[in-house]
Amino acid sequence: MWLYEGTEFTEDKIGNHVGYVYLITNKLTGRKYIGKKLFFFAKTRTIKGKKKKEKAMSDWPIYWSSSEELKADVKLHGEQNFTREILHLCPNKGTLSYMEMKEQIMNDVLLKPDEWYNAFVGGKIHRKHVKMTAEAKKL
């Protein structure tokens, strides 16, 4: 289950958002992970010989990050020993990447390996890719 602002986040709350920045916390050790996930992806189908792109739901409800170390801990300790929290809902991919990187840098995830699962921070984001939402402006 994903939480957003203290309550369960469900598909009907996606609205116009393309994805979210999240925080997963290991309740046994306190170690955390910050990442991002898209709600949808483009799926290509061939219909009568023509390729057509469609929007398909991603695996976001069951997603446990790209971190192999974190996923191994989830498997070892069980999902019940982890919390999954949505920090930011984002209107576009640029804002999504920006907010993920901002959270990672603000929390010094690479400098504190005993506290964070994150082993990588990166991205190339241009100003025109970032849509300044009210949420992004207050950070």
Whole-number pLDDT of residue 122: 78
Domain count, the chain: 1
46 contact partners, CB below 8 Å, separation of at least 6: 52
Whole-number pLDDT of residue 136: 55
Whole-number pLDDT of residue 53: 85
Whole-number pLDDT of residue 129: 66
Structural domain span for residue 10: 2-138
- What are 75's two structure tokens? 């498997």
Segment 101-111, tens digit of pLDDT? 999 999 999 99
Question: For 122-133, b where at least 16 C-beta lie within 10 A, e where not — what string?
Answer: eeebeeeebeeb
As a whole number, mean pLDDT of residues 51-58 equals: 88
Whole-number pLDDT of residue 134: 53
> Can you tell me whether residue 57 is helix, strand or coil?
strand
Rounded Cα–Cα distance for residues 68 and 73 (Å):
9
Is the pLDDT assigned to residue 123 strictly greater than 80?
no
As a whole number, mean pLDDT of residues 11-33 equals: 97
As a whole number, mean pLDDT of residues 56-80 equals: 96
Q: Output Rg (C-alpha) for the chain, integer angstroms.
A: 16
Q: What CATH number is attached to the domain comprising 14?
A: 3.40.1440.10
Average pLDDT, the chain: 91
- What are 18's two structure tokens? 């393309």
